């Protein structure tokens, strides 16, 4: 049962009142607060246990709302928004500053952006998310609704298990359809850089704006996206990314098979979907289940290293990198 309009209105009132609401998006569930209320946003960081150096995405209900928060809205942003909003694309743009007499500073409080001169904006496609933002009438800052470094939630039950009573209200919109987080694309400084691959593929982005640069991962490079922590998206259980069906000799485990069969006694084999989109939609749910099974390890049959798998491989590599 999707939330009723009365439930959405209640949630919107909580947002306006500075409280925290978990809500479904097409990618993963978000933990939302009024993006213009620094105190409410501070609670997001406290509840998640997230370092203050990791900026939040601001969710908007319209392109006008997005434009009101940024200093410039380049033509590339206009074209991308036309094509992919509402949808799983976050655009990073320079923040707008207040300019009235007696007021100064960015419109979006620095706690949201980790003090950067840019803000990440996204218009989510889930009807409940859009209805919530529009009813609240304010932009909604929201990270994924899980504790720091845990696997992102793709059901309301995942949110309940992770955050429990620390969230004031949860809107249950069923299972997320995309299943992994949005693509984060920086358009600041006249350059297009993909900071995080995600729900919109690089190829689709390039079909609209031409070549998109890779993020520079060299240690010497300035940290363009402080939230790109390698330990994001991790189950508690040791996760191994394996090829050719090669499993550890010891211990109990679960094998998330894509195409390579394994021959070893005493392990549970879970068949994953073959297409990248369906695999992404299923991935976090399967990892949550495997994590709850109290095994020694989770082995993931590495999907092919081709462009359509870029976002899924990014998440799997981070999860495997965590211990
Ligand atoms: O699909 C999604 O993006 C989900 C749903 C809830 O919208 N949200 C999400 O939020 O994944 P979170 O906080 O888990 O990840 C936000 C990412 C981080 O990698 C952060 O570094 C990047 O967005 N980001 C946000 N603002 C940024 C900025 N101003 N500059 C660079 N990166 C930014
Ligand atoms: Mg997250």
pLDDT in tens, 223-257: 455 455 655 678 899 999 999 999 999 999 999 99
Check: pTM over 0.85? Answer yes or no: yes
Q: Is 237 in the pocket of ligand 1 (CB under 6 A)?
A: no
Report residue 78 as tokens. Answer: 């206009």
Lowest mean pLDDT among 133-147, 250-264, 302-316: 250-264
**Ligand 1 atom closest to residue 116's alpha carbon, by position in its atom list:** 29
Report d(CA 108, CA 103) in Å as an integer: 13
Give the DSSP H/E element, type plus range, for residue 90.
strand 89-94
Q: How many CB atoms lie within 10 A of CB 229?
A: 17
Ligand nearest the Cα of residue 178 is: 1
Condensed to tens digits (0 to 9), the pLDDT of residues 159-207 reads 999 999 999 999 999 999 999 999 999 999 989 999 999 999 999 999 9
Is any atom of ligand 1 closer than 6 Å to the C-beta of 117? no
User: Does ligand 1 lie within 6 Å of residue 143's CB atom?
Assistant: yes
Average pLDDT, the chain: 93
Residue 3, ligand 1, Cβ within 6 A = no
**CB count in 10 Å sphere of residue 259:** 12
Task: State if residue 92 touches ligand 1 by the CB under 6 angstroms criterion.
Answer: yes
Q: Which residue lies with its CA nearest to atom 32 of ligand 1?
A: 225
Report whether residue 113 contacts ligand 1, using a CB cutoff of 6 Å. Answer: yes
Ligand nearest to the CA of 180: 1
Question: What burial letters (b/e) apply to 269-279, b meaning 16+ CB within 10 Å?
Answer: ebebeeebbeb
**Is residue 254 helix, strand or coil?**
strand
- Atom 30 in ligand 1: residue holding the nearest Cα: 225
| Nearest-ligand number for the alpha carbon of 90 | 1
The total of other beta-carbon atoms located within 10 Å of residue 190's CB is 8
The answer to whether residue 221 scores a pLDDT higher than 90 is no
């Amino acid at each position: 049962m999707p939330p009723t309009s009365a439930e959405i209105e209640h949630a919107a009132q909580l947002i306006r009142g500075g409280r925290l609401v978990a809500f479904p998006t097409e990618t993963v569930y978000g933990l939302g607060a009024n993006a213009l209320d620094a105190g409410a946003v501070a609670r997001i960081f406290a509840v998640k246990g997230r370092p203050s150096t990791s900026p939040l995405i601001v969710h908007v209900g319209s392109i006008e709302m997005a434009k009101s928060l940024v200093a410039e809205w380049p033509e590339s942003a206009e074209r991308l928004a036309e094509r992919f909003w509402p949808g799983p694309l976050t655009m990073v743009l320079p923040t707008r500053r207040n300019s009235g007499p007696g007021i100064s500073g960015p419109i979006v409080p620095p706690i949201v952006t980790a003090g950067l001169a840019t803000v990440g904006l996204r218009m989510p496609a889930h009807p409940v998310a859009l209805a919530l933002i529009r009813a609240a009438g304010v932009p909604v800052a929201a990270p994924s609704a899980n504790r720091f470094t845990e696997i992102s939630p793709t059901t309301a039950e995942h949110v309940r298990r992770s955050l429990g009573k620390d969230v004031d209200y949860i809107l249950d919109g069923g299972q997320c359809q995309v299943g992994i987080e949005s693509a984060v694309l920086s358009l600041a400084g006249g350059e297009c850089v993909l900071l995080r691959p995600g729900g919109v593929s690089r190829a689709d982005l390039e079909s609209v704006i031409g070549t998109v640069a890779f993020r520079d991962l060299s240690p010497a490079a300035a940290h363009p996206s402080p939230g790109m922590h390698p330990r994001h998206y991790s189950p508690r259980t040791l996760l191994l990314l394996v090829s050719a069906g090669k499993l550890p000799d010891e211990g109990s485990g679960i094998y998330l098979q894509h195409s390579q069969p394994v021959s070893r006694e005493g392990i549970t084999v879970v068949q994953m979907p073959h297409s990248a989109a369906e695999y992404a939609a299923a991935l976090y749910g399967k990892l949550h289940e495997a994590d709850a099974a109290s095994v020694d390890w989770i082995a993931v049959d590495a999907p092919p290293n081709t462009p359509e798998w870029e976002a899924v491989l990014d998440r799997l590599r981070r999860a495997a990198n965590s211990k």
